[in-house]
Chain A
Amino acid sequence: SQTIHQWPATLVQPVGSPLSLECTVEGTSNPNLYWYRQAAGRGLQLLFYSVGIGQISSEVPQNLSASRPQDRQFILSSKKLLLSDSGFYLCAWSGEGGSNQPQHFGDGTRLSIL
């Protein structure tokens, strides 16, 4: 069966420090991969999605970046964190097959910027 792993679960970082969040998927090939941010009490904001290795689409201009060095690995990074980067970050994957495929989410990373 397919599983998605996201780490770390929680992270506290000072303003201006770098960031690296990692997400891996097991049990499937060539998944579509996504990074979302969820502000407290709000819905999901799509940050990046990827349909293949090295293919990244950015939905919102910001100081974050994403990379997909391997088929089932998706990394969210920043060189210098801002206070506004605090939030709950969710990685997700979906299979090929069009609009009827749901997304499957990791357990999220709670990022607090001090």
Chain B
Amino acid sequence: GDSVTQMEGPVTLSEEAFLTINCTYTATGYPSLFWYVQYPGEGLQLLLKATKADDKGSNKGFEATYRKETTSFHLEKGSVQVSDSAVYFCALRNNAGKSTFGDGTTLTVKP
């Protein structure tokens, strides 16, 4: 079956540091890929998505590129802020419409 593996946390960075959270996936066909963010006590919010190979999703300074050859969708941000502290989930949705989520990576940004 499908699977999503993302970098284990927690990740702690200083403000303005560069962020990378790795995500790799296994799926048949051509899934769509997503990053979601969860702030404390809330549900998940869509951060960005990419629907085909070489697409780059971007939002709020975050970016991720759909790499079919390496089956990866790493999340990056050039300069993190304290307000970016949250749990980040990588997910895929396959051609049958079924979603698979990674276990989440907790990011803490210190001033």
Let me know if B103 and A103 touch, CB within 8 A: no
Per-position contact with B for A91-109: 1 when CB-CB < 8 Å, else 0? Answer: 0101000111111111110
A99 to chain B, nearest CB (A): 4
Contacts of A27 in B (CB 8 A): none
* Residues of chain B lying within 8 A (CB to CB) of residue A108: 41-43
Min CB–CB distance B42 → chain A (angstroms): 5
With A104-B46, A107-B43, A108-B42 known to touch, is A98 a contact of B97 (CB < 8 Å)? yes
B45-69 toward A: CB 8 Å interface, digit per residue (1/0)? Answer: 1100101000000000000000000
Out of A32, A104, A110, name the residue touching B97 (CB < 8 Å). Answer: A32
Q: Please tell me the number of chain A residues within 8 Å of chain B, measured between CB atoms.
A: 23
Nearest B residue to A98 by beta-carbon distance?
B97
Q: Would you mind naming 20 contact pairs between A and B with Cβ atoms under 8 Å apart?
A: A6-B43, A42-B103, A43-B104, A44-B44, A44-B89, A90-B44, A98-B95, A98-B97, A99-B31, A99-B94, A99-B97, A100-B49, A101-B32, A103-B44, A103-B93, A105-B43, A105-B44, A106-B43, A107-B41, A108-B41
Interface assignment of B34: CB less than 8 Å from any CB of chain A: yes
Which positions in B face A, CB cutoff 8 Å? Answer: 30-32, 34, 36, 41-46, 49, 51, 89, 93-97, 99, 101-104, 106
Instruction: Tell yes or no: A46 within 8 A of B by CB.
Output: yes
Which residues of chain A come closer than 8 Å to B99, judged between CB atoms? 34, 46, 103
Q: Which residues on the B side are within 8 Å of A43 (C-beta)? A: 89, 101-104
Instruction: Contacts A90-B43, A90-B44 given; indicate if A102 touches B49 (C-beta within 8 A).
Output: yes
Cα-based distance from A2 to B89 in the complex (angstroms): 22
